[in-house]
Amino acid sequence: MRIAIIGAGCSGLTAIKNLAESGLEDIVCYEKNDQIGGNWVYTAALGHSSVTKTTHMISSKSMSQFSDFPMPDDYPDYPSHQQILVYFQAYSRHFQLGKYIRLNIAVLRAEKIEKERWRLTLSDGTQSEFDCLLIANGHHAVPRHPEWKNSFTGKYLHAHAFKTNHELENKRVLVAGAGNSGCDCAVEASREAAQVDISLRTPQYIIPKFVMGKPTDTFATSFQWLPQKIQDWLQKISLRMQIGRYRDYQLPEPDFSPTQAHPTINSEIFDKIRHGRIHPRSGIQCISDQTVHFTDGSSSQYDVIIAATGYKISFPFFDLDFINWEDTGHVPLYLRIFHPDHPSLFFIGLLQPQGCIWTLAEVQSKLIGQLLIRKIQLPFNWRELAIAEGKYWASQFIARPRHSIEVHYYPYLKQLHLIIEGKTTQ
């Protein structure tokens, strides 16, 4: 069995490791950049990584490390992007993954051919055919721009292009969006800019990185045995004790449960707001030249707008009429991995958990490895389950583009383990 993997970021690396561990050796992983690491390879150049010069993780070390390769003891609770890249490099060396990886080779086109096989057209001018194809290209590469982008006559950039705050000194800056990228951009901009505002269209749970002295995700694990409603209530109580009310920070109060939306994990934003370095604003109504009109009737002028408006789900190597989920609202994959029409095609890391992606990608890869060596099998009706599951996950979260691949970490992990253990459900 010949297997191709697209992308040597966190998902691609653990896919190689776990497939090889299952006894599958004819594996080729194509990475378009000159080194492994995906988004965690920081560069000041545009169009590659989405991390900034000061990016740290938003999931903790203990909840993010691979099961059989712990992070170094001297790493902090929330490692930097430099430390994470070193960790991935060490993981690759330890499990000897380099022999499977071809750097500086982009997959220009992936097409399905006879007998459920795949033909890849590569950037070096060659083509190659495979029995299985694993997609691990990530989902933070193609920015989603707002419709008002071209109305602003000042400097506009997407959060994907925000690398440092060096050019923001004495500037009036508006950050559109209060997700993880938006809050990070606002905090960094506030260190240099004369004015930083952050615009929120809808309420957002912004959660500090530490609760009761513990990393937030570590603290939350102690609630997992409780019913969901009680978990939600405890999260709200702990947040109230930790930060007070959102309106104390001029932020709108969420009217939904914490698990219905992807959380923003950021402690500094609260400090910056209370010190007057960041000012929350309502949603953007319209823009005229450099004046932004907000939905509450106010307006202000800005020199720079940073749009933290998310990313598109993109597979540039597929024809648009083959797979294109950007406007569907949900992704119809069984277990977020298996496509009902293409049983030899697998997606790794195409999910947005309320937790760390890497550890879920690791278990996804173990499942695929066991499936390919025929040690386990999927339920007989897995194709039908793929459609139902996509609709189910969509119903669990507020209807926003950012939630099209959202999952609850522990229930999803339990689903994967049930299949691995041979306890298939229908």
Please indicate, yes or no, whether residues 283 and 367 belong to a single structural domain of this protein: no
Please indicate, yes or no, whether residues 299 and 398 belong to a single structural domain of this protein: no
Query: Can you give the length of the chain in residues?
Result: 426
Q: What is the mean pLDDT of residues 317-321?
A: 93
List all residues 6 or more positions away from 4 whose beta carbon is below 8 Å from its beta carbon: 27, 28, 29, 30, 107, 118, 120, 128, 130, 132, 133, 134
Please indicate, yes or no, whether residues 291 and 191 belong to a single structural domain of this protein: yes
Please indicate, yes or no, whether residues 281 and 398 belong to a single structural domain of this protein: no
pLDDT in tens, 57-88: 999 999 999 999 999 999 999 999 999 999 99
Q: What is the pLDDT of residue 48?
A: 63
Q: Is 226 within a domain?
A: yes
Q: Is 52 within a domain?
A: yes
**CATH code at position 176:** 3.50.50.60
pLDDT in tens, 331-380: 889 999 999 999 999 999 999 888 899 999 999 999 999 999 999 999 99
Please indicate, yes or no, whether residues 40 and 157 belong to a single structural domain of this protein: no
Name which residue leads in pLDDT, 423 or 147: 147
Q: What end-to-end distance do the CA atoms of the chain give, in Å?
A: 28
pLDDT in tens, 156-196: 999 999 999 999 999 999 999 999 999 999 999 999 999 99
Least confident among 23-37, 340-354, 378-392: 378-392
Please indicate, yes or no, whether residues 131 and 175 belong to a single structural domain of this protein: no
CA–CA gap between residue 122 and residue 128 (Å, rounded): 8
Where a domain ends, among 254, 284, 307? Answer: 307
pLDDT at 425 over 60: no
CB 8 within 8 A of CB 29: yes
Where a domain ends, among 274, 307, 340? Answer: 307
pLDDT in tens, 105-150: 999 999 999 999 999 999 999 999 999 999 999 888 889 999 999 9
Q: Is 98 within a domain?
A: yes
- Alpha-carbon Rg for the chain in angstroms: 22
Q: What is the mean pLDDT of residues 379-387?
A: 91
> What is the total count of domains within the chain?
2
Q: What is the pLDDT of residue 391?
A: 81
Please indicate, yes or no, whether residues 114 and 251 belong to a single structural domain of this protein: no
Full-model pTM: 0.94
Q: Is 315 within a domain?
A: yes
Q: Is 425 within a domain?
A: no
CA–CA gap between residue 204 and residue 56 (Å, rounded): 21
Sign of CA dihedral 324, 264, 268, 75: negative
Please indicate, yes or no, whether residues 150 and 271 belong to a single structural domain of this protein: yes
Please indicate, yes or no, whether residues 301 and 162 belong to a single structural domain of this protein: yes
Please indicate, yes or no, whether residues 341 and 282 belong to a single structural domain of this protein: no
Please indicate, yes or no, whether residues 253 and 283 belong to a single structural domain of this protein: yes
Q: Is 426 within a domain?
A: no
Where a domain ends, among 261, 291, 307? Answer: 307
Please indicate, yes or no, whether residues 163 and 112 belong to a single structural domain of this protein: no
Q: Is 366 within a domain?
A: yes
Give the whole-number percent of the chain exceeding pLDDT 70: 97
Full residue range of the structural domain in which residue 351 is found: 3-142+311-420
